[in-house]
């Protein structure tokens, strides 16, 4: 069995009740739920949450609810521990569980085709532990990162003496998880040896490189506008 687990906590401060904030006329969490329901390879859809309003959306759409224990509620909980608890909860009730697709409750930029694509990769490549959607950095390459000192001044992030060219084409390519899908074999949450900070993904994680900066989760009202633009132009935007 392949399962989709959506993590969506209550208590957001950037946008109040963010996971049920209306985007395109629907609660935000409804979009990853619908993507999971549309995926042919997904047998069951779960939501890990501590919020009644989030759970109500999930129940109305046919999800099973994983209520978080008290120690996994709040702002400062390690997301990996939430994922691990949810996978163990599902595995304890459905021992035929094989692979998990982890989706975020505050993104709209996923669909069933993308989910099925990620699961096909694991089915066809048994040597892999996982795969995740990523995008390639450009001006936001980590070699260009800066930090603010105690004096309020900018300096290079990390080693202050590093020498970096202004020609970004000279940098080795860098990639970031794009808040699309984390797809992994259930046992990787126990090995805890994935690429930090995504320790639940196992050692052999395959990149699904999307061809534009997409899949961003929502933290601000600007992000909401971007998500609504994406919805207005989908499905003509190619995801893979």
Cα–Cα distance, 106 to 7 (Å, whole number): 9
Express each pLDDT in 61-103 by its tens digit. 999 999 999 888 877 788 999 999 999 999 999 999 999 999 9
* pTM for the model: 0.91
Phi-psi region of 24 (alpha: psi -120 to 50; beta: other; left: phi over 0): left
32 and 74 assigned to the same domain: yes
84 and 110 assigned to the same domain: yes
Alpha helices in the chain (DSSP H): 30-38, 52-60, 79-93, 112-124, 188-191, 221-233
The domain containing residue 146 runs over which residues?
A: 138-172
Residue 233 CB coordination number (10 Å): 9
Contact assessment for residue 47 and residue 29, using Cβ atoms and an 8 Å cutoff: yes
Give the count of domains, the chain: 2
Average pLDDT over the chain, rounded to an integer: 92
Cα–Cα distance, 144 to 85 (Å, whole number): 36
16 domain residue, yes or no:
yes
240 domain residue, yes or no:
no
Cα–Cα distance, 2 to 110 (Å, whole number): 17
């Amino acid at each position: 069995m392949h399962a989709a687990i959506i993590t969506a906590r209550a208590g957001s401060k950037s946008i109040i009740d963010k996971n049920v904030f209306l985007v395109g006329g629907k609660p935000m969490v409804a979009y990853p739920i619908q993507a999971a329901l549309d995926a042919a390879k997904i047998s069951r859809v779960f939501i890990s949450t501590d919020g009644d309003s989030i759970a109500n959306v999930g129940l109305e759409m046919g999800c099973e609810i994983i209520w978080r224990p008290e120690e996994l509620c709040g702002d400062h909980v390690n997301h990996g521990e939430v994922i691990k608890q949810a996978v163990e909860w599902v595995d304890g009730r459905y021992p035929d569980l094989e692979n998990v697709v982890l989706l975020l409750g505050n993104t709209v930029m996923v669909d069933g085709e993308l989910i099925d694509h990620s699961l096909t990769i694991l089915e066809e490549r048994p040597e892999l532990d996982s795969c995740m959607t990523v995008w390639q950095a450009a001006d936001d390459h980590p070699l260009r990162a800066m930090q603010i000192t105690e004096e309020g001044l900018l300096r290079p992030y990390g080693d202050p003496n590093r020498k970096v060219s202004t020609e970004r084409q000279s940098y080795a390519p860098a990639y970031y998880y794009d808040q699309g899908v984390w797809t992994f074999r259930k046992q990787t949450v126990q090995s805890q040896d994935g690429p930090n900070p995504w320790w639940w993904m196992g050692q052999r994680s395959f990149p699904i490189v999307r061809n534009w900066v997409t899949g961003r989760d929502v933290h601000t009202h600007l992000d909401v506008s971007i998500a609504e633009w994406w919805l207005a132009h989908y499905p003509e935007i190619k995801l893979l």
